[in-house]
Amino acid sequence: MLPPFAAVYFDCDSTLSTLEGVDELLQWAPAALRRDIAALTEQAMAGLLPLADVYERRLRQLAPRREQLDRVGELYVAHLVPDALLVVQALQLLGKHVGIISGGLLTPVQHVAMHLGVPKENVYAVPLHFDATGAYVDFDRRSPLWRNGGKIEVVQTLPKDHQPLAFVGDGITDAETQGHVACFVGFGGVIARPQVRARADVFVTSKSLAGVLPHVLTASERTQLAADPRFAPLLSRAEP
């Protein structure tokens, strides 16, 4: 489906931020575990292993503490993809709903949302449970986002005024939304995965998130941005 879209939602890891949040938790893990977890993450994102199997195993082995999640959130924000903030602001200027749907951990993703001005009610990720000392207990198994197909479930429950929806992401769980959203934009600016390119309605290789804009805006919406000195430069950075 061609624009206009009522909403644009984004994945977080390797889409809004250049980081993979779970990998950042590895800084507190032994070297051997770091190698194993990093390999598992990439296999899950490439669709070579079921996400549910990888998700539970990673968190059980890492057992992150509550304060570590805030540190990962700070790292997310420090490593935002170029133009992430301006793209979100431009979409909101045009009256579009902007949200985040991530298989990552809720607390770090909320740091990104707060920095970008994304309303908290439009943020979906996996909460963790901790004991009174801040030690890891479990993840919220009621969330669909820790397994394959979870993002489809979330986009299908979004408010009606967020439809038609464009979704932007880099991984196989993002690509699963193709056919369930009006447009799936594969983002390869951080990692270009062939499996995602093959399934995407359109695929963007620009390092800047501005590369998404030509695919989610109408000609008149682009003209409106071009007339605003805050956002006109974005359009020149919208190509690879």
Is 13 a residue of the active site? yes
Coil/strand/helix, residue 118: coil
| Number of Cβ atoms within 10 Å of the Cβ of 239 | 12
| Number of Cβ atoms within 10 Å of the Cβ of 51 | 22
Catalytic residue among 13, 83, 170, 174: 13
Query: What's 193's DSSP letter?
Result: -
User: Looking at the chain, which runs of residues are DSSP E strands?
Assistant: 7-10, 97-105, 123-126, 128-130, 136-139, 165-169, 183-187, 202-204
- The Cα–Cα gap between 29 and 17 comes to 22
Q: How far is CA 20 from CA 11, 76, 180, 228, in A?
A: 11, 8, 25, 33
Is 83 a residue of the active site? no
| Number of Cβ atoms within 10 Å of the Cβ of 35 | 12
Query: Which residue is listed with tokens 């602001």?
Result: 89
Kindly list the catalytic residues.
11, 13
